[in-house]
Amino acid sequence: MSATGRAERRNVVLVTVDAWRADFVDAHAGVALTPSLAAVADRTVRFDAAYANGPWTSPGLVSLFTGESPARHRVHYEWSRPRTGGPAVAATLAAAGFDVPNLCYLNRVGNYANLGYDPAGAPDYPHDPDDDLLVPALRALRDRRAPAFLWFHYKFVHLPYWAGAPYRRALGVDDAAIHPRLRASVCQGFVVPRGQFRLEPDEDRAMVRRLYAAGVLQMNEWLGRVLEELDHGDGALGARTALVITADHGEELLDHGHVGHASTAHHATLHEEVLRIPLLIVDARARGGARCVPARVQQVDLFPTLLSLAGVAPPAGGPGVDLAPLVLGAGRGGGAAAAGAAAAGAAAAAPDPARPFLFQSARMGYLTPRTHEGQEIEALSDGTRKIVVERYDESRTLLYDLAHDPGETAPLDAGPALDDARAWLDRTRSALANSGPRATLEE
């Protein structure tokens, strides 16, 4: 806090990585995937059970930026738009005096209207991993004292899984050994429709995962440049900047018979692999504390968290939980007594571990045609059970026992437990559809 009692305004940088799975952060096949994060490990807090609110980019990121559940914002189709005048992180921070540069090509898309960015000012679509606007934007912040909010979306972990040759070699990929069906699909397709390509899980899984991991390793090099810029010179920029690194959604890698996610597979699922995402917050105020938070968290939690990290009080209302106390409490040193107090504060701030998380999507994500409007999938999970309702050409309802069936291979499709879960889903959806943060902040 400042001498006036007002929270210090700080830069916040949000990096969202397209289609990055939570289990591809540390290593794969014995290869470290994100060694650049080692340099900031002493000020990084990692959330080990973070979830996207949808299985493709827009539902999840709109939840993040508005603090609203997909049941409320309803951005499920290419033609969907957030409400005019609704809550929005960028608009809120701009109104609070933050510089909010437009660094993301997604802001050209109607799904991101009314979130605080001018669509006409959005940059062009990036063509390769070096087509980078974030590092120059960080460089411009070195001599600025006015706070800024920077959002950059890195897209090159997404299909096609064809990182540069050095990264493929580092993951042990022998290009000559790649099967022609993989060359024709995952190695060159931005979309790999489930009905168009038939992959062989037992034969192809290892290669698909190495190809995907090579993309994460390539992303690490770019992330290293971002971290170097933050710590350039005396490190003053990094000392007054919170860096939030996460993903829009996860990715299936032949876990359940195919690859990709709703928009790329043309068939949405809500299995854990497409919902679990990385979430790491790098902040000098967290130095010297606990590194991992096991609590289940979701994208809507980042709405109040980003504002709080920036020094702007989040508005009341909505399903999101401010995670900033869990980050900042981790860095309070000063002996065993202080460490115990910090731990107690963090425990008090931890979200309810049984909070129900709602996930929703149109059948084919962004590529769902008007002819399929209304064909949607939704799920509700409290971490131990998950009910999934598909409303496609034929409807079905499945209940998974995540505690005993973490691979989601043996669902119930009938019985009292399913009926109870269906009623639980209906109640929760209704509550979330009517719950959201206030659109504006009061100074």
Could you give the residue ranges of the DSSP H alpha helices within 312-437? 324-328, 335-349, 416-433
pLDDT value at residue 6: 58
- Round to whole Å and give the CA distance between 262 and 60: 12
Give the mean pLDDT per block of 10 residues along the chain (443 residues). 62 98 98 96 96 98 98 97 96 97 97 97 93 94 91 98 98 97 97 93 98 98 97 90 98 97 97 98 83 95 98 94 89 40 52 95 97 97 98 97 97 95 98 87 41
- Round to whole Å and give the CA distance between 186 and 190: 8
pLDDT value at residue 145: 82
Q: How many residues does the chain have?
A: 443
pLDDT value at residue 350: 80
pLDDT value at residue 339: 43
Who contacts 296 (Cβ-Cβ below 8 Å, separation ≥6)?
49, 50, 51, 351, 353, 355, 357, 383
Check if the beta carbon of residue 361 is closer than 8 Å to that of residue 376.
yes
Q: What is the dihedral of CA 430, 433, 434, 435, to 10 degrees?
A: 120
DSSP-derived secondary structure for 385-406: EEEEEEESSSEEEEEEETTT-T
Q: Which of 346, 342, 255, 357 is CA-nearest to residue 301?
A: 357
pLDDT value at residue 337: 36
pTM: 0.94
pLDDT value at residue 290: 56
- C-alpha distance from residue 4 to each of 1, 8, 212, 259, 328 (Å): 8, 10, 50, 53, 20
